[in-house]
């Protein structure tokens, strides 16, 4: 069917929206009442950032009323492994050497949560304290690393730097970010009479959780079934880090023969789980008098924490996105993952891309100030053009969309007129200054690990014409299931009410990839569409016999089957359910498995060349801010966004992702600050100390538009990913703050770069203003 039906492209509410607001939607821990005999788990946590575990005394804990068991390395069954590392076997579930403050040493199981907590408090752990590395500078000095150097070189950067008319160098530290999903890490495990374990897990990657649980228990994968009902947020934090939680639940159920529930409270979730990687960038840049970038040499370091996790591919994505939307003809970028005694940092929306892009935007702003041109002009001067290739050798397809989006947004947001108004306001007010900035986004879509770019689906049609859809993607509030329902309804020509989307589980679709890398709709949607196409072709043959028409002449829409030239309710038409009933009587298969793999994805690490992305998403944002010079407090006055989502499958879902992505990015860049004390303990471990963006940070004016006429022909329904790319739109807010801070420079002071910490908290903004005032006084 080439014609698009009314199901795809409709602005529909999230399929679980009603359940979300009424409380009817069930999450992993809500299933606890169904297992009244369940035990509760609580961790015994390390009080040191780095120490050897000399002994663990559980005698007092075992005496606590209600304590049933204490799980330790000795609890792992023969054939099992005390190891939950997903990428590298470097994460013992029960460590004999703790590597970060708050790391679980053993877990206590109790009849009640209170009993488990009391039992955990009674466990006595004897430690031999070891030296701890708590900062990236310390790790670099000690050569404490998790990875080898990752290098991409294009052109001749050293020669181009030497010959550049102008040069500058600098560095930038970028903070991490707590996921702060509303639903904390949770799992519920039960054993059946056949010796299999069923794990309900709040996980983005059920197949990997299944694999890790099987490894710990020494079981084949077929003995472990993992289901992800839905998640109350994840943002990458449940891609890998849900695995040890599920393993504890499954192991506890194995040891005790009873269901076991694990759910971390907010404080323990923040103490135990990884964050967005903090980054440290050092750079040298060469440019001409117009601000054209001629050469760049960048060293990127990330704080990986105590284990590898996904730190290497995260660093690679930072290397891939160091260019953002800019052509860098001579570039050398080197990345290293440093090992510290902190939580094992992990995936987070953008997966390293945002950190790389913040670095290049910092550089472009400094270049613009050095040549005395507005930053938006220097940005546009350096844009990719059609035919250009990235530093890793991939063509920037549809590069013309960068300038198209930029020019359209400059016009619709009235950037030039508002810049003039900002200048007038700043000239008349000494204690409050405004800033206005526009920044672009180019973000590559696909897993950078090639084999992960595959997905499966299982679509079932029942004899009454109702449809059940199973696929390998997980729902975490982003609207994936909504889009899959629309694709299935479109593919079979039935109303949405005829389609039921099932929870994601490993006994329906095996060997799935994580719902991550913004690829959930692309991969799973294509698999669902392929399955529906198989079913529609089978049914078309049946309907053709019923209507005495060639199957190729039939259309499926509005729950009917009819000729392309006819009407759904015309004489030569049949109801979808009637065709299905006939197909059943004719013994036609009414279920189909769809499988999809992204084509032509490859990357050679040794050569630093390849095509790691299927396509690029583009966008731009304009942000206006007002800053108080006395306190550094600021207000986000207005935001304008124009974003490329291809041909949207579900416009309301996509718009929500753009708005939410911007606000989450705003939090990372402006108010969310992770603080560890001198002992390596996380000091910001709750909403009272970790500042999240709230309604107060939302702009009074927030305009979001989707780029028109932007079909992506290589993706299901012509759509594009929308999960991660909007996150980087918030970089415009940081650049707007920089513009406002610059306006506080004393009159007549020479133009200079504006040093602004990241995150740019009100405190950081205040001290940046004071630094400029100090330069003026000196």
DSSP 439-491: EEEEEEES-SSGGG-EEEEEEEE-TTS-EEEEES---SSSSHHHHHHHHHHHH
Residue from 91, 624, 724, 735 carrying the catalytic annotation? 724
Give the separation between CA 424 and CA 63, rounded to whole angstroms: 73
| Backbone phi, psi, residue 391, to 5° | -70, -15
**What are the tokens at 241?**
């880090």
Residue 6 CB-half CA count within 13 A: 6
Give the separation between CA 161 and CA 258, rounded to whole angstroms: 66
Q: Is 724 a catalytic residue?
A: yes
Give the separation between CA 747 and CA 180, rounded to whole angstroms: 43
Cα 620-758-661 angle, rounded to 5 deg: 40
Which residue from 629, 758, 674, 660 is spatially nearest to 361, judged by alpha carbons? 758
Angstrom distances, CA of residue 272 to CA of 112, 234, 267: 22, 15, 9
Which residue from 699, 555, 683 is spatially nearest to 636, judged by alpha carbons? 699
Sign of the dihedral defined by the CA atoms of residues 45, 46, 49, 55, in that order: negative
Q: What is the CA radius of gyration of the chain?
A: 28
Give the separation between CA 488 and CA 483, rounded to whole angstroms: 9
Sign of the dihedral defined by the CA atoms of residues 240, 349, 499, 459, in that order: negative
How do 186-191 and 701-706 pair as beta strands?
Answer: unpaired
Locus of tokens 């095996």? 510
Give the separation between CA 361 and CA 352, rounded to whole angstroms: 15
The answer to whether 16 and 25 have CB atoms below 8 angstroms apart is yes
Cα 678-681-687 angle, rounded to 5 deg: 120
Cis amide bond preceding 402, omega within 30 = no
Give the separation between CA 121 and CA 133, rounded to whole angstroms: 27
**What are the tokens at 164?**
């550049």
**What are the tokens at 399?**
């590069």
Residues annotated as catalytic are 724
């Amino acid at each position: 069917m080439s014609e698009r039906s009314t199901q795809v492209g409709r602005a529909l509410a999230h399929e679980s929206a009603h359940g979300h607001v009424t409380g009817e939607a069930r999450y992993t821990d809500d299933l606890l009442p169904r297992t009244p005999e369940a035990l509760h788990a609580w961790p015994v946590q390390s009080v040191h950032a780095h120490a050897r575990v000399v002994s663990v005394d559980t005698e007092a804990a075992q005496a606590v009323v209600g304590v049933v068991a204490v799980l330790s390395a000795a609890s792992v069954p023969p054939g099992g492994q005390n190891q939950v590392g997903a990428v590298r076997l470097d994460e013992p579930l029960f460590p004999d050497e703790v590597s970060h403050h708050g790391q679980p040493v053993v877990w206590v199981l109790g009849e009640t949560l209170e009993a488990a907590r009391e039992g955990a408090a009674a466990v006595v752990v004897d430690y031999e304290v070891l030296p701890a590395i708590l900062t990236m500078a310390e790790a670099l000095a000690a050569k404490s690393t998790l990875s080898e150097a990752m290098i991409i070189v294009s052109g001749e950067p050293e020669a181009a730097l030497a010959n550049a008319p102008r040069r500058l160098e600098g560095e930038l530290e970028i903070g991490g970010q707590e996921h702060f999903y509303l639903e904390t890490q949770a799992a519920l495990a039960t054993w059946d009479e056949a010796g299999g374990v069923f794990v309900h897990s709040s996980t983005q990657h059920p197949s990997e959780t299944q694999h890790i649980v099987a490894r710990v228990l020494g079981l084949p994968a077929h003995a472990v079934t993992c289901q992800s009902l839905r998640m109350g947020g994840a943002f990458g934090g449940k891609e890998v880090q849900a695995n040890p939680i599920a393993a504890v639940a499954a192991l506890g159920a194995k040891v005790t023969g009873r269901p076991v529930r694990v759910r971390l409270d907010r404080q323990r979730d923040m103490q135990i789980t990884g964050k967005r990687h903090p980054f440290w960038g050092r750079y040298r840049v060469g440019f001409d008098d117009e601000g054209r970038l001629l050469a760049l040499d960048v060293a990127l370091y990330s704080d990986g924490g105590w284990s590898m996790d996904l730190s290497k591919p995260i660093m690679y994505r930072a290397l891939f996105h160091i260019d953002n939307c800019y052509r860098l003809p001579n570039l050398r970028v080197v990345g290293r993952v440093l090992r510290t005694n902190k939580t094992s940092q992990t995936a987070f929306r953008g997966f390293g891309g945002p950190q790389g892009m913040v670095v290049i935007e910092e550089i472009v702003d400094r270049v613009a100030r050095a040549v005395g041109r507005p930053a938006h002009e220097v940005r546009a001067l350096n844009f990719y053009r059609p035919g250009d290739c990235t530093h890793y050798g991939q063509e920037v397809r549809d590069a013309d969309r960068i300038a198209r989006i930029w020019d359209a947004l400059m016009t619709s947001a009235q950037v030039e007129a508002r810049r003039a108004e900002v200048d007038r306001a700043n000239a008349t007010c000494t204690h409050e200054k405004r800033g206005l900035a526009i920044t672009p986004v180019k973000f590559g879509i696909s897993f950078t690990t090639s084999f992960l770019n595959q997905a499966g689906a299982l679509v079932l049609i029942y004899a009454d014409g109702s449809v059940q859809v199973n696929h390998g993607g997980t729902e975490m509030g982003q609207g994936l299931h909504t889009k899959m329902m629309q694709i299935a309804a479109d593919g079979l020509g039935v109303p949405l009410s005829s389609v039921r989307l099932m929870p994601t589980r490993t006994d329906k679709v095996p060997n799935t990839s994580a719902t991550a890398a913004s690829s959930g709709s692309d991969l799973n949607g294509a698999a669902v569409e392929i399955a529906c196409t198989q079913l529609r072709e089978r049914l078309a043959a049946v309907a053709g016999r019923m209507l005495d028409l060639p199957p190729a002449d039939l259309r499926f829409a509005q729950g009917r089957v009819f000729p392309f030239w006819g009407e759904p309710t015309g004489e030569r038409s049949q109801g979808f359910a009637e065709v299905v009933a006939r197909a059943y009587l004719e013994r036609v298969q009414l279920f189909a498995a769809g499988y999809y793999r992204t084509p032509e994805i490859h990357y050679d690490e040794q050569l630093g060349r390849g095509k790691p992305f299927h396509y690029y998403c583009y966008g731009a944002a304009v942000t206006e801010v007002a800053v108080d010079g006395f306190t550094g407090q600021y207000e986000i006055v207005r935001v304008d966004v124009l974003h490329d989502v291809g041909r949207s499958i579900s416009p309301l879902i996509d718009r929500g992702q753009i708005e939410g992505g911007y606000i989450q990015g705003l939090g990372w860049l402006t108010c969310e600050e992770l603080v560890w004390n001198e002992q390596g303990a996380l000091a910001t471990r709750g909403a009272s100390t970790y500042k999240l963006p709230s309604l107060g940070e939302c702009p009074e004016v927030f305009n979001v538009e989707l780029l028109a006429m932007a079909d992506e022909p290589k993706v299901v329904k012509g759509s594009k990913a929308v999960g991660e790319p909007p996150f980087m739109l918030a970089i415009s807010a940081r650049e707007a703050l920089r513009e406002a801070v610059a306006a506080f420079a004393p009159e007549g002071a020479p133009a200079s770069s504006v040093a602004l910490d990241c995150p740019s908290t009100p405190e950081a903004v205040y001290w940046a203003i004071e630094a400029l005032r100090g330069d003026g006084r000196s």
